[in-house]
Structure 1
Amino acid sequence: MSRSGYYAFLKAKKTRYEREKRDESDFKLIKNIFDKSKQKKGIRQIKLYLATEFGNTMNLKRVYRIMKKYSLYTKVRSTNPYKKMAKATQEHKL
């Protein structure tokens, strides 16, 4: 590590600490919304919900970073295989 990089790291200690505290408070909000939606709301929906309900404008990248940091992942909906089969059989009914 370079000398200037080391001193820049030491100088930024306070800002890193403040960012951590802000992330923890934002995480509580995001986690609350995430659990209410039964882990189905993604980054964009959480951002919109924060803006409309709480009036808290948070950047999309920030929501993404916090969700990734605390490993909050949405459940991915799988397709229904029977729906395709039902659609295929109805095409030949005519």
Structure 2
Amino acid sequence: MDIELIRNIFISKKEKVGALQIKMIMENDYSSIMNHKKIRRLMAKYNLLAKIRRANRKLKQAVCHEFHPSAILHSDQGFHFTHLLFQRKVKELGITKSMSRKGNLVN
């Protein structure tokens, strides 16, 4: 029963929602309370993968593998830049990373 509701929400949102968004929709629209960790486990078990941008793909698109030896990647503390896969890839490529402090927006 739980997975049916999760699957219905997931499909109705065009497969672009994750566990936390499904949790909020369940609480607000269906008056059903479920732990986000349980939702995440059920989504993984039934192969419901959200179509989100992955940090690794974004880095591949943005980079051409030819860097100045002292290249620095400066970013904010957004999800893509703090994601473990993104940070590993930056380290593999030998790029120095620089990150703004929280609440210190450049733009």
**Is TM more than 0.5 here?**
yes
Identity of aligned residues (%): 39
Counterpart residue type for residue 52 of structure 2: V
Aligned structure 1 segments of 4 or more residues deviating by more than 6 angstroms: none
Choose 1 or 2 for highest CA Rg.
Answer: 1
Distance of 1:41 and 1:63 partners within structure 2: 12
Query: Per the alignment, in what secondary structure is the counterpart of residue 41 of structure 1?
Result: coil
Tell me the equivalent position of 1:33: 9
Counterpart residue type for residue 59 of structure 1: N
Tell me the equivalent position of 2:49: 73
Structure 2 unaligned regions, length at least 5: 62-107
Tell me the equivalent position of 1:55: 31
Q: How far did residue 77 of structure 1 move?
A: 3.1
More helix by share: 1
Tell me the equivalent position of 1:46: 22
CA RMSD of superposed structures (Å)? 1.4
Counterpart residue type for residue 57 of structure 1: I
Structure 1 unaligned regions, length at least 5: 1-24, 82-94
Tell me the equivalent position of 1:11: none
How many residue pairs are counted as aligned between the two chains? Answer: 56
Distance of 1:26 and 1:73 partners within structure 2: 17
